[in-house]
Amino acid sequence: MRVLIVEDEDAIAEPLMAGLAREGFEVVRAATGQEALDAAEADVVLLDLRLPDMDGFEVCRQLRARSEVPIIVVSARGEEVDRVVGLELGADDYVVKPYGLRELIARIRAVTRRAAREPAQARTEEQAQRVGRLEVDSRSRRAFLGGAEIHLTAKEFDLLALLSSEPGNVVTRQRILETVWNTSWYGASKTLDVHVASLRRKLGETGWIETVRGVGLRLVPKG
């Protein structure tokens, strides 16, 4: 598996490259945003946000506009707004520095497994699911509310599609993590919470998605 590390600080990039190489990954590095955009396509991108020539969010946006390569933002910026912006621009995951190498490898494997599974999964899903004013079309991977398209990231769509497949029923957090993130590791729960918050904003009403404390989430049909 080829990993592109986008990181300008040698003190961070070099031990990370060595650690991933020891685990059998093929590792290449870009020290600037432009180098990342010019690099040959990788199987996964680890993207720092603080780059010398451009904002990492812009790199994320441009990469996502031309490719479905899994992107994991790896940044010291851990505020919720940063997580939300990164995920809305198309990142598949967001890891806050400092992190453990094992955690990062687990996330790399999770996002790449998910990316490999999606084409086959999409062929078996129903064409469209209607829940009140909401329509979720799994074939085109588009969602509409009252006829107007909702622009979702890949993971936001996967989450909404799962919840809409069982409207009114509680979907456990464990099942969501296993289905959407292909992991049962509860360290991913913060990522799930960020996606839920973003999805609620895009739906325009927080009441669409109810949190059942200690259990999971439920999509509540609206008119």
* Residue ranges covered by each domain of the chain: 2-117, 125-219
Q: d(Cα 115, Cα 98) in Å, to the nearest integer?
A: 26
Range 2-117 has CATH code 1.20.81.30: no
Predicted confidence band of residue 121 (pLDDT cuts 50, 70, 90)? very low
| C-alpha span between 16 and 108 (Å, rounded) | 13
Q: How many helices (H) and strands (E) does the chain have?
A: 8, 12
pLDDT higher than threshold 70 for residue 118: no
pTM over 0.75: no
Residue 48 is predicted with a pLDDT of: 96
Q: Is 3 left (phi over 0), alpha (psi -120 to 50) or beta?
A: beta
At position 115, the amino acid (one-letter code) is A
**Site of tokens 């955009």:** 37
Alpha-carbon Rg of the chain, whole angstroms? 18
Query: DSSP character for 82?
Result: H
pLDDT for 56: 94
Return the CATH number of 125-219, one of 1.10.150.120, 1.10.3720.10, 1.10.10.10, 3.40.50.2000: 1.10.10.10
pLDDT at 13: 96
Confidence class of residue 223 from pLDDT cuts 50, 70 and 90?
low
Residue 124: predicted pLDDT: 40
Beta-carbon contacts of residue 106 (< 8 Å; ≥ 6 apart) = 183, 185
Residue 116 has pLDDT above 90, yes or no: no
